[in-house]
Chains A and B, each alone.
Chain A
Amino acid sequence: MLTHATQSGSEPARLIRGWGHATGSHALVARPTGSAQWQERLAEAGPRGLIARGGGCSYGDAAQNAGGTVALTTGGDDLTRLVVADATVVADAGMTLGALIRALAPLRWTLPVVPGASGVTVGGAIAADVHGKNHVHTGTFGAHVREMTVLTPGHGEVLMSPTVNPGAFWATVGGLGLTGVIRQARLELVPLDSWLFRCTDTIATDLDAMLTGLTDASQASAYAVGWIDAVRTGAHIGAGVISHAGPLMPRRTPPHDGGRLPAPRVSVPMLPGAGIGTVGITAVANRLRLATARVRPHRILPLPEVLYPMDTLPGWPGLHGRLGLVQYQFVVPFGAEDVLRAALIHTRKSGFSATLAALKVFGAAGEAPLSFPLPGWSLALDFPARPRLARVLDALDERVAAAGGRVYLVKDSRLRPDLVSAMYPQLPRWRAERAALDPKGVMTSDLNRRLHLSEDAETGHA
């Protein structure tokens, strides 16, 4: 029998999908506001548990919970409070980073770490310990969280920081929502030197040039990312464009109102079949991208366009057709460059070429046991979610793990579960902390069930 009153009631379950549209499952959607409602939700969660969901920008099933409850943190009236003091800001977990950055800009402050989508929330950024295009300088998002309040099933609201409840703090940073619901956080800020950025594109003709060029650019500039033309083969494997950006100094920027989000340039419908996910179409698109870099290597762009270039192309998953898209993002230590090469060669040989391939350099790893970045190369590859892709990526998982690397869990939708503990050797430490915060396993998600992250996911609920 169902124990959760609303589960058998009139409220129908809704299909909740990942950003990539390749995953999806039915769950009850709750929109609690205020601590009392959140506590009630957690206490009443049925046998299928509850997961918090922020902006829904995770590509796969991290913020899905089949048959259970998905609780939205973006519920509304919690979002008004914003306190800036002492070079920190206190923000509610449901606030998007895009909104936060806009609100901070007139005060000439900004966030040290920003991922590539403006819709990511503070809670989602902490729960995935996200990184930006400046990881070598700043580390991850979690490194700049001064303290946070987390509603846990085991102990109610708990204040956590690197010094107060540090074990719980680092288990929640990168903890994929499985330790509790982050309610509020105090985040460190950095001065906003300029709203406008000078952006430069440099062409790299092969992988070696890409790697050395990106290393230099990452050291020299505030932000750097490599875009790889994944269609290229042979000697030109790894060729592409290195984009780097730095503030337009000194503060010669025109007065601003906190800026607008980049206006979508094109809005796209869902395409049939695999959409643009064919080698031919990707080849044409990539040639255009290269030509643009050649013709206009220098540009002045407002901060949002530097931070979230994908926001100018909403509906990117829809371009991959009905099947949706999976992103394969992995990191391998310096010295394992052969794995980058293998990933490009093997996917290409199997008839796939990533519609988007982004390379980043990572610096030192953070403290959170499930944090993704480690010193080395991060490659993110987008593919239409064709079943045939499974074999190629399964084989790559093995090479990534053998090289001491790992796959990014918050973006995953198909990783081999048997390799998770090799990729995340601190998993036992995280499990112990999680078990203390959520002894009954209330917090759970499709990702957790699929990859058996918390031990009790193996057995499920009767």
Chain B
Amino acid sequence: MRDGLGRAQTVLVLGGTSEIGAAVADALVPAGGTIILAGRDPAMLDTAAARLRPGRHVETVAYEATGTAAATVDVLTAAAAQAGDLDVVVLCVGALTGEPSIGADSTAAEHALQTNMLGPMLAVHATAQRLRRQGHGTLVVFSSVSAVRARPRLLTYGVAKSALDAYARHIGVSLRGSGARVLVVRPGHVRTRMTAGLAEPPFTTTVQAVAATVARALRRGSAVTYAPAMLRPVVAGLRLLPATIFNRVTELKAAPRRGGAPSAETITEPRNR
């Protein structure tokens, strides 16, 4: 149960090796609480578990986002069997697949949609059912600023996030009055392995800052939050631009990251999601 000071006792991270997910769990769970990391690579899950601050119980559960809906339900059941009620479920599965790398490969497109859209949407569905029965708990869904307006270079990713974002928000509305809720998080560019080597656009942020933003949004009971918060007006402004100008602005060259020149491969990736 969340306590009177808003602290979560149990947090499940779907995509347990995600750097953002680990930072959020780290920020939310006090000493004595439980963190469950769910992911597909046991060795990497153990590494992620070892990086968390000590003092909490850490468990790992197998989870493959491209699996069946039933398997996704089972993951939640397994997590709850280990730890009881789930106070917060953080969904941070995702893979940044640029349009150039998908190219003409239909299987690559399918995989990108499964990882960023279908798998996460099934996770939203299953989690919402469980939290509704529990009568409390918040599902934190990692969307992206690119969900607000997709860009050509990140079309599949942006559209997938956009579908996930809309789905999660509507599920959130349908949960009203049940005690369960959904928080949709739209980060800009966050320094993680996902963005390693990419040029850093303005408003680039850190996992710790994202975690603090999530903690604040949970306290307030927000439905949607941007990370950093400054992106809300920026994105609102960008949305109004005509397509030609929008595309040109968002594809502008940003400063290369920490001195290291981006590799030829990453240059084909867009810089501002």
Q: Give the B-binding residues of A (Cβ under 8 A).
A: 2, 12-13, 15, 18, 20, 22-23, 25-27, 47-48, 60-61, 65-68, 324, 326, 385-387, 389-390, 394, 413-414, 416-418, 446, 449-450, 457-460, 462
Q: Are A416 and B133 in contact (CB under 8 A)?
A: no
Is B177 in contact with chain A by the CB < 8 A criterion? yes
A12 CB contact (under 8 Å) in B30, B83, B177: B177
Q: Are B31 and A67 in contact (CB under 8 A)?
A: no
Q: Are B5 and A15 in contact (CB under 8 A)?
A: no
Q: In the complex, what residues of A have CB within 8 A of residue B4's CB?
A: 18, 20, 22-23, 60-61, 324, 326, 385, 413-414
Query: How many angstroms from the CA of A189 to the CA of B72 in the assembled complex?
Result: 60
Q: Are B5 and A66 in contact (CB under 8 A)?
A: no
Q: Are B136 and A67 in contact (CB under 8 A)?
A: yes
Q: A26-B136, A394-B30, A446-B1 are in contact. Are A13 and B179 (CB under 8 A)?
A: yes
Q: Are A48 and B133 in contact (CB under 8 A)?
A: yes
Q: In the complex, what residues of A have CB within 8 A of residue B132's CB?
A: 67
Q: In the complex, what residues of B have CB within 8 A of residue A390's CB?
A: 5, 7, 30
The 6 closest A-B pairs by CB, nearest first: A67-B135, A413-B4, A26-B179, A66-B135, A22-B4, A460-B84
Q: Are B3 and A66 in contact (CB under 8 A)?
A: no
Q: In the complex, what residues of A have CB within 8 A of residue B32's CB?
A: 416-418
Q: A22-B4, A446-B1, A449-B84 are in contact. Are A387 and B219 (CB under 8 A)?
A: yes
Q: Separation in Å of the B179 CB from the closest CB of chain A? A: 3
B5 CB contact (under 8 Å) in A27, A414, A458: A414
Is B268 in contact with chain A by the CB < 8 A criterion? no
Q: Are A22 and B5 in contact (CB under 8 A)?
A: yes
Query: How many angstroms from the CA of A386 to the CA of B9 in the assembled complex?
Result: 17
Q: In the complex, what residues of A have CB within 8 A of residue B135's CB?
A: 13, 25-27, 48, 65-68
Q: Per-position contact with A for B129-161: 1 when CB-CB < 8 Å, else 0?
A: 000111110000000000000000000000000
Q: Are A13 and B3 in contact (CB under 8 A)?
A: no
Q: Per-position contact with A for B116-130: 1 when CB-CB < 8 Å, else 0?
A: 000000000000000
12 extra interface residue pairs, beta carbon distance < 8 Å, beyond A48-B135, A414-B3: A2-B133, A48-B134, A66-B134, A67-B135, A67-B136, A326-B4, A387-B5, A413-B3, A416-B32, A417-B32, A449-B1, A457-B84
CB-CB contacts below 8 Å: B1-25 with A = 1, 3-7, 9
Q: A416-B32, A446-B1, A450-B9 are in contact. Are A67 and B177 (CB under 8 A)?
A: no
Is B77 in contact with chain A by the CB < 8 A criterion? yes
Q: In the complex, what residues of A have CB within 8 A of residue B179's CB?
A: 13, 15, 25-27, 66-67
Q: Separation in Å of the A254 CB from the closest CB of chain B? A: 44
In the complex, 17 of the A-B residue pairs with CB atoms within 8 angstroms, ordered by the A residue number, are: A15-B179, A26-B135, A26-B179, A27-B135, A66-B85, A67-B132, A67-B133, A387-B5, A387-B7, A413-B5, A414-B5, A414-B7, A449-B1, A457-B84, A458-B84, A459-B84, A460-B81
Q: Per-position contact with A for B168-187: 1 when CB-CB < 8 Å, else 0?
A: 00000000011100000000
Q: In the complex, what residues of A have CB within 8 A of residue B134's CB?
A: 48, 66-67
Q: In the complex, what residues of B have CB within 8 A of residue A385's CB?
A: 4-6
Q: Are B1 and A66 in contact (CB under 8 A)?
A: yes
Specify the chain A residue showing the minimal Cβ separation from B136: A66
Q: In the complex, what residues of B have CB within 8 A of residue A25's CB?
A: 1, 135-136, 179
Is B80 in contact with chain A by the CB < 8 A criterion? yes
Q: In the complex, what residues of A have CB within 8 A of residue B30's CB?
A: 390, 394
B1 CB contact (under 8 Å) in A47, A416, A450, A462: A450
Q: In the complex, what residues of A have CB within 8 A of residue B136's CB?
A: 25-26, 66-67
Q: Separation in Å of the A11 CB from the closest CB of chain B? A: 11
Interface centre among B134, B178, B219 (most CB of A within 10 A): B134
Query: How many angstroms from the CA of A460 to the CA of B31 in the assembled complex?
Result: 21
Q: In the complex, what residues of A have CB within 8 A of residue B31's CB?
A: 394, 416
Q: In the complex, what residues of B have CB within 8 A of residue A386's CB?
A: 5
Q: Separation in Å of the A48 CB from the closest CB of chain B? A: 6
Q: In the complex, what residues of B have CB within 8 A of residue A12's CB?
A: 177
CB-CB contacts below 8 Å: B208-249 with A = 219
Q: Are A460 and B133 in contact (CB under 8 A)?
A: no
Q: In the complex, what residues of B have CB within 8 A of residue A47's CB?
A: 133
Specify the chain A residue showing the minimal Cβ separation from B132: A67
Query: How many angstroms from the CA of A389 to the CA of B7 in the assembled complex?
Result: 11
Query: How many angstroms from the CA of A26 to the CA of B180 in the assembled complex?
Result: 9
Query: How many angstroms from the CA of A361 to the CA of B49 in the assembled complex?
Result: 47
Q: In the complex, what residues of B have CB within 8 A of residue A65's CB?
A: 135
Query: How many angstroms from the CA of A326 to the CA of B178 in the assembled complex?
Result: 24
Q: Separation in Å of the B214 CB from the closest CB of chain A? A: 14
Interface centre among B3, B32, B135 (most CB of A within 10 A): B3
Interface centre among B4, B132, B179 (most CB of A within 10 A): B4
Q: A26-B177, A67-B134, A394-B31 are in contact. Are A462 and B5 (CB under 8 A)?
A: no
Query: How many angstroms from the CA of A119 to the CA of B94 in the assembled complex?
Result: 53
Specify the chain A residue showing the minimal Cβ separation from B7: A390
